[in-house]
Amino acid sequence: MTGSLASLAIAGGGTETALPAPVGLEAEGEGSFLFPASFAQERLWFLDQFDPGSAVYLLPNNYCFQGPVDAGALARALNEIVRRHEALRTHFVRIEGAVMQAVVPQLDIPLPQIDLRGLPDGIRDAEFHRIVALEATRPFDLATGPLLRATLVTVGDAARYLLLTLHHIVSDAWSSEILYRELTALYGAYIAGLPSSLPDLPIQYGDFAHWQRQLLTGGVLDDHMRYWRRQLDGAPALLELPADRPRGPTQGFRGASIHFALPDAVTARLKAIAREENATVFMVLLAAFTALLHRYTGQNDLVVGSPIANRGRAEIEELIGFFVNTLVLRVRFAGDPGFRQLLRHVRDVTLEAYAHQDLPFEKLVHELRPPRHASHNPLFQVMFVHQVAAAAADAGGADADFISQPVAGTAKFDLTLFITEAGPRLTAAIEFNTDLFDAARIMRLIGYFRTLLGAVAQAPDQPVSALALLPPAEAALLGQWNATSHDYGTAQTVAALFEAQAARQPAAAAVISGGQTLSYGDLNRRANRLAHHLRRLGVGDETRVGFCLRRSADLAVALLAVLKSGGAYVPLDPTYPRERLAFIVGDSGMAVVISDDNARDALPPLDVPLLSFSRDAAAIMAEPDHNPSDGSLADAGPAADPDRLAYVIYTSGSTGRPKGVAMAQRALFNLLQWQVAHSRLPGEARTLQFTSPNFDVSFQEIFSTWCGGGTLVMVDDDTRLEPGQLLRAIAEGAVARLFIPPVVLTQLAVADAAATVDLSALRQVIVAGEALHLTPAITAFFARWPGASLHNHYGPTETHLATAFTLAGPPAGWPVLPPIGYPIANVQTHILDRRLQPVPPGGPGELYIGGIGLARGYLGRPDLTADRFVPDPFSGVPGARLYRTGDLVRHAPSGDIEFLGRADDQVKIRGFRVEPGEVRAALLRHPAVRDCAVVLRPDHQEGGASLAAYLTLRPELTVTTADLRRTLAATLPDYMIPSNFVVLDALPLLPNGKLDRNALPAPDAARPDLDQDFVAPATPTEMVLADLWAEVLRLDRVGVQDNFFDLGGHSLLATQVVSRIRERLRVDLPLRRLFDAPTVAELAVAIDGLAGEGGSAATAPAFDPPPLDGPQPEELLARLAQLSDAEVETLLAGL
């Protein structure tokens, strides 16, 4: 432990206030002496009231005797220890609201014996392990005691085990070492016929508890609190460890442990580094552990708990009792420190914490009042424990080894690292919460830790960011996931690819638009004429050509013609504001704009020529219809150059100024070859042209269709934006492939559920543009049309398509948040930390994209280009670059990339980091929710921010905000539950199909979600409860369906409610009942039930209620384990 004698020697400076004389008071009629419980004991007592059967706070102390054992001498030694240490003769009582230790003057602990030697080998081992598990988990009764028990198990002639189990409320790890030393000493003396040689103890634990309460008043408490407030000011409330499952609304305590050892050579070097830096081994290991957490989570500010023996005084060093305290150690990574620099920082933090160790953790939580929630521990969620192993003792000729055994199947924290120092060796174990983590993830984490420690041992002066973290096998695995090289032959221009396809099938349909069908030959000739005309207007190599066109065959002709002319097209969406279009025209430096009568009015005044399909039709028709690249005319286009610019597409800029992404043809050639190869559709397959040309997916949609010999089906904007009409167009057009945003897929799926269309021709649905959340409507859609497959594509405009994932198997088994998959051919993906170092698989990091798919950069913005396109340190190709996406992702164990959200989209609510996408996914699981969006809104009342959910609902289903909150509360902590729910007829969309966040209305500050669901109280009990809640919560009115905790109630206010219920309704309501029945209606039913048959609780006498079904004990424990001392004291009065 951190409180080993060596650590305490370094700590020094402990408070030297004299311990008081014994203060025990004899309890009348019991023969017991009473002492106040210590702060830590009081907290454990309180937790036990709500989870009396929990094994979380049991301390198994098992001893293996190699040789014969004198059971009588062993029992005598055990009971002598009980006589010496009053803590072992203690149970707990409550007197006048205070928790007291009751010490009985004499207590005999029996030593039952079990002999397993008569059982067969396999059965004997299994029975022994069953007994060990039973003894380690069988609960104690704190009110009656005793709080320790012993069993002697004989497994073989030379193997006997003493199973000694204590409750943590009377012991700790240091006490276990005392117990081991005294037990072996006394046993050795007794079997030799000698008396005890142990000296009398000067004080007992009750004296310490009394002294602790006297000490922590006035100036001493103020001094400690000044330090801790300063040290923990602004500390993060939660350490976001990458997990295999989301954190639930309440903390579970199911756990497992994995043991491992460190190489002796590494251990020796780590000890040498400790000596060089005037530090302890504990400090070196803590520095390494926080470096691991920093690299694994990406967080620069870490808070870790660590137990300290809290025995800086000679009087209590040999005393058994619950002395251990928990120190909260905050380690910050500023800049890029070397490991030695980090170690010095950790040493300073640790020594300062040692100087203020007298303040109990429970008191610290009470005074700081940090943000807390039942889903995790307050202040820290990861524990680091360093302990020195006790040497085997000679117990009168029988070697007795102490076996430290954590309670199997439990975990007090998300993660605890135990490191045991045994001579020259370091052994370790990680205890982890199995509700969050799989064993495979923890095994990988252990590998990272071992690798990092090896790197520290070799080069402690290296920056923490440069320390090796990945074992060789995992580093090789990252390389394998990026092995995407594929030879598609000599790169060609997009126009050349189309021309080759047109030559192969000139009569095949290329475009269907309204009642018009263009064959490949027709489309090629029309595009050639327009390309020649553009050349006559001065369009040359990489000349930017704008087009502002409504959806029609002319749009397809214009796109192809610009590329044939050697120019680069720049889309001008006729639905955009004129000011934005004017900026794009000027910023791109376009030489000509193509439009028609339907869209010309949308354009701003132009300083460049305007080419109109209608006005200039005759001039265009007069141009030759052969390919400009044929070179037969003087105005022939330039030679095919795959590095030529293809298009400039403008996207929103963070400064409000749009930025033009300049994409070259070589990247697009690679994309088209990959898409055609992976489509596996027949050549005549039809693709719907849905995507706006302002969105890069439109290029993939249009040209992959043509390069594969398929037909493009175009629909007008009215059809495109109305789900019912769009669904009919897909069916009537026998469309086989769709490229649509996820939100449109949801709308189509909902419309299809109520329609009678035939979508049997549909084979592929490709979603892109936003994160895909599978709604029930989507999975039902693909279940209805099993011939269609779903593909999740990812890629910023700056890289076009980068990764792809195909959902396989029955739709009912698809994940709600599908991965974005692997990189496509000749594209590489890297998940990196802030210093461009690869993060371990499973850890979050920013996605960087490299390879052939990158854009040139931002047109006319070299500064911005240099900021987002950085040198590629992983490529051997000169000048290779990476695009920094700003997206947070991680690798799944399969190697697929999982999208976590935007790095700049993560928000903090009450100190906790929240990803709105996770909240959205949880809402979409409610059957009444058709679609939704979750955004951060300023909360002027609270002076911070809150989440708002915008929903479209199924008309055939009804839902209240209470229903939605209950759905979310089943899987999310309360800080992730939106404060407002706003129902819309439809989510506002941008022209590219993405959510228009700026068009979302502000939630009504008058709490319409409560007003619209208001149901007035009807029964006398409901009326009393509604008035009572309104008083406590300071609300104007409360309805019978309102949830106490949704209205702002919390644990401390709950105690006020229980107290006032007792006063007004004369019902002795257990506090836990309010957690079980949190609405007025539910609680009124429960109270009326307690009042008995035939009367309201308002007039019925109180009596002891029967238990109601409700949350499991561990859930109640988790809800209440985070309370402070003041809350505990208030709660005690309501129990």
The C-alpha angle 220, 221, 224, rounded to 5 degrees, equals 90
Closest CA to 288 of 310, 259, 267: 267
Give mean pLDDT, residues 959-982: 78
Structure tokens at 1008: 């319409």
The answer to whether 705 and 711 have CB atoms below 8 angstroms apart is: yes
> Which of 128-142, 780-794, 967-981 has the lowest average pLDDT?
967-981
401-407 average pLDDT score: 56
Indicate whether 11 pLDDT > 70.
no
What length does the chain have? 1135
Over range 191-209, report the average pLDDT: 92
Same domain, 912 and 771: no
Q: What is the pLDDT of residue 88?
A: 97
| 998 in the same domain as 1127 | no
Output the pLDDT for position 1004: 58
> Has residue 370 got a pLDDT over 90?
no
- 422: domain CATH number is 3.30.559.30
CATH assignment of the domain containing 612: 3.40.50.12780
How far apart (Å, rounded) are the C-alpha atoms in residues 528 and 722?
Answer: 34
846: β partners: 832, 888
Please give the Cα distance from 348 to 1079 (Å, whole number): 50
| pLDDT single digits (tens) 1063-1089 | 788 887 776 688 778 889 889 988 888
Q: Do 190 and 325 have their domain in common?
A: no
Comparing 28-37, 241-250, 748-757, 820-829, the range with the smallest average pLDDT is 28-37
Q: How many angstroms from the chain centroid is the CA of residue 376?
A: 13
Q: Name the strand (E) or helix (H) holding 953.
A: strand 944-953
Cβ–Cβ under 8 Å, residues 470 and 445? no
Distance of alpha carbon 697 from alpha carbon 595, whole angstroms: 22
Compute the average pLDDT of residues 418-435: 93
Q: Assess whether 219 and 198 both reside in one domain.
A: no
Give the residue with greater pLDDT, 224 vs 639: 224
Query: In the numeric block, which tokens belong to residue 310?
Result: 């809290």
Task: Give the pLDDT score at 937.
Answer: 76
Q: Is residue 433 part of a domain?
A: yes
Q: How far apart are CA 991 and CA 741, in angstroms?
A: 11
Structure tokens at 793: 């594509």
Question: Same domain for 270 and 377?
Answer: yes
Range in 313-327, 1047-1061, 1098-1112 the model is least confident about: 1098-1112
Does the residue 401 lie in any domain? Answer: no
Nearest to 1121 by CA among 380, 411, 381, 373: 373
| Region of poorest pLDDT, from 9-23, 450-464, 989-1003, 1094-1108 | 1094-1108
* C-alpha separations of 83 from 76, 89, 204, 481, 1082 in Å: 10, 8, 11, 65, 51
Q: Residue 151: pLDDT band by 50, 70, 90 thresholds? A: very high
Q: How far apart are CA 175 and CA 519, in angstroms?
A: 88
CATH for 973? 3.30.300.30
Total domains in the chain come to 5
Provide the mean pLDDT of the chain: 85
Indicate the range of 87-101, 388-402, 582-596, 1093-1107 predicted with least confidence. Answer: 1093-1107
Last residue in a domain, options 996, 1012, 1028: 1012
Is the pLDDT assigned to residue 396 strictly greater than 60? no
Tens digits of residue pLDDT in 302-356: 999 999 988 878 889 999 999 999 999 999 998 889 999 999 999 999 999 999 9
For residue 895, tell me if it sits in a domain.
no
> Which candidate, 534, 595, 541, places its Cα nearest to that of 568?
541
**Residue 852 domain-assigned (yes or no):** no
| Closest alpha carbon to 734 in 748, 756, 705, 713 | 713
DSSP string of 45-56? Answer: HHHHHH-TT--T
Confidence of residue 568 (pLDDT cuts 50, 70, 90): very high
Q: Is residue 275 part of a domain?
A: yes
Strands 415-422, 425-433: pairing kind: antiparallel
Residue 518 and residue 570 in one domain = yes
Q: How far is CA 198 from CA 84, 187, 204, 309, in A?
A: 10, 12, 15, 22
Least reliable range by pLDDT among 793-802, 901-910, 1019-1028: 901-910
Asked if residue 670 lies in contact with residue 497, where contact means CB atoms within 8 angstroms, the answer is: no
Q: Identify whether residues 193 and 224 lie together within a single domain.
A: no
Residue 998 reports pLDDT greater than 80:
no
Among residues 386, 388, 450, 393, which one has the least CA distance to residue 419? 386
Q: Which two tokens stand for residue 580?
A: 């934005």
Phi, psi of 1051 (to 5 degrees): -60, -45
pLDDT score at 49: 77
Name the percent of the chain lying above pLDDT 70: 86
The span from the CA of 147 to the CA of 139, in Å, is 9
Residue type, 21: A
pLDDT band per the 50, 70, 90 thresholds, residue 1050: low
The vertex-361 CA angle with 358 and 362, nearest 5°, equals 115
Share of the chain above pLDDT 90, in %: 54
List pLDDT tens digits, range 480-498: 999 999 999 888 899 999 9
Q: What is the pLDDT of residue 1116?
A: 37
Domain match, 373 and 520 both = no
The whole-angstrom separation of Cα 613 and Cα 558 is 9
User: Which of the residue ranges 62-76, 388-402, 475-489, 692-706 would you say has the lowest mean pLDDT?
Assistant: 388-402
Tell me the two tokens of residue 812.
């009912």
Q: Please determine, for residue 1059, whether its predicted confidence score (pLDDT) is greater than 50.
A: yes
| Greater model confidence, 775 or 276 | 276
∠ CA(743), CA(744), CA(747), 5° rounding?
A: 95
Instruction: Specify whether 993 is located in the same domain as 1034.
Output: no
Residue 1030 lies in a domain: yes
Mean pLDDT of 770-775: 88
User: Other C-beta atoms within 10 Å of 231: how many?
Assistant: 16
**Packed helices 39-50 and 361-368: angle between N→C axes, nearest 10 degrees:** 80
Same domain, 498 and 598: yes
Tell me if 151 sits within 8 A of 134, measured CB to CB: no
CATH number of residue 1037's parent domain? 1.10.1200.10
Q: Which residues contact 893 (CB under 8 A, 6 or more apart)?
A: 440, 441, 841, 842
- Range ranked top by mean pLDDT from 8-17, 266-275, 716-725: 266-275
Residues 668-692: what's their mean pLDDT?
A: 92
Q: Is residue 832 part of a domain?
A: no
Whole-angstrom distance between the N-terminal and C-terminal Cα of the chain?
Answer: 36
Q: Which of 158-162, 242-246, 833-837, 900-904 has the lowest mean pLDDT?
A: 900-904
The mean-pLDDT minimum among 198-212, 538-552, 941-955 falls in 941-955
Q: Are residues 173 and 292 in the same domain?
A: no
Domain end residue (candidates: 202, 232, 258):
202
Q: Which residue range is the domain that position 970 belongs to?
A: 907-1012
Arithmetic mean of pLDDT, 255-280: 95
Cα 745 off chain centre by: 26
- Closest by alpha carbon to 281, among 119, 421, 473, 452? 421
In terms of domains, do 364 and 444 share one? yes
- Residue 839 counted as domain residue: no
Among 182, 202, 222, the domain boundary falls at 202
Residues 931, 989 contacting (CB under 8 angstroms): no
Instruction: Report the alpha-carbon distance of residue 924 to residue 816 in Å, rounded.
Output: 9
> How far apart are the C-alpha atoms of 922 and 974, rounded to whole Å?
13
Residue 1115 pLDDT greater than 60, yes or no: no
> Tens digit of pLDDT for each residue in 714-764?
998 888 888 889 999 999 999 999 999 888 898 899 899 988 999 999 999
Check whether 682 has a pLDDT greater than 90: no
Sign of the alpha-carbon dihedral angle for 368, 374, 380, 384 = positive
